[in-house]
Amino acid sequence: MRGMNDFDFLAGHWNVANRRLIKPLSGSAEWEEFPGFSVATRHFGGAASFDEIEFPTKGFNGLTVRVFNEETRQWSIYWGSSATGALDTSPMVGAFDGNRGEFRGEEVCAGRRVPCRFVWTVIGPDSARWEQAFSDDGGRTWETNWTMDLTRA
């Protein structure tokens, strides 16, 4: 487990290649690909991270707020979208182990809350990967439904 400053790698401007499963947890294997552009900043001396991502071909933006809890040594990650006009107040919670961070919580899929997992992988100073997966069996198995490959702009 690393700790505070885990998301310092993300500060800056990024080009983002998105790949998203169109109908998660439906048995479908149909994916869409679209670009994104992200700007990330660090706050609270590295104990907080903020980014805004633009999806120019999708017509909406998203933002992420990450806050580190020194006592639990875990991050809480919150997502907001211009498409919904809301900040999800149910955080993804987890930590890094080396260059891999795993965070768990719940998301809404097809109108119901399901277990969700984020995995962040720091590949190098100019590249990183984020993956989101849902589970239909309480977390025993995971279906990856969105990946973002980030390269420094």
Q: How far apart are the first and last CA of the chain?
A: 29
CA separation, residue 67 to residues 75, 111, 143 (Å): 6, 27, 26
Residue 75 has a pLDDT of 98
Residue 133 counted as domain residue: yes
Q: What is the pTM of this model?
A: 0.94
Are 64 and 43 in contact by the 8 Å Cβ rule? The answer is no
Residue 85 counted as domain residue: yes
Q: How many domains in the chain?
A: 1
Residue 102 counted as domain residue: yes
* Chain segment 11-49, per-residue pLDDT in tens: 999 999 999 999 999 999 999 999 999 999 999 999 999
Residue 27 counted as domain residue: no
The rounded distance, in Å, linking the Cα atoms of 134 and 148 is: 16
* Chain segment 98-114, per-residue pLDDT in tens: 999 999 999 999 999 99
Range of the domain at 145: 6-22+32-152
CA separation, residue 153 to residues 12, 16, 71, 79 (Å): 8, 9, 35, 22
What is the pLDDT confidence band of residue 132, given thresholds at 50, 70 and 90? very high
- The half-sphere exposure of 95 on its side-chain side, counting CA atoms within 13 A, is 12
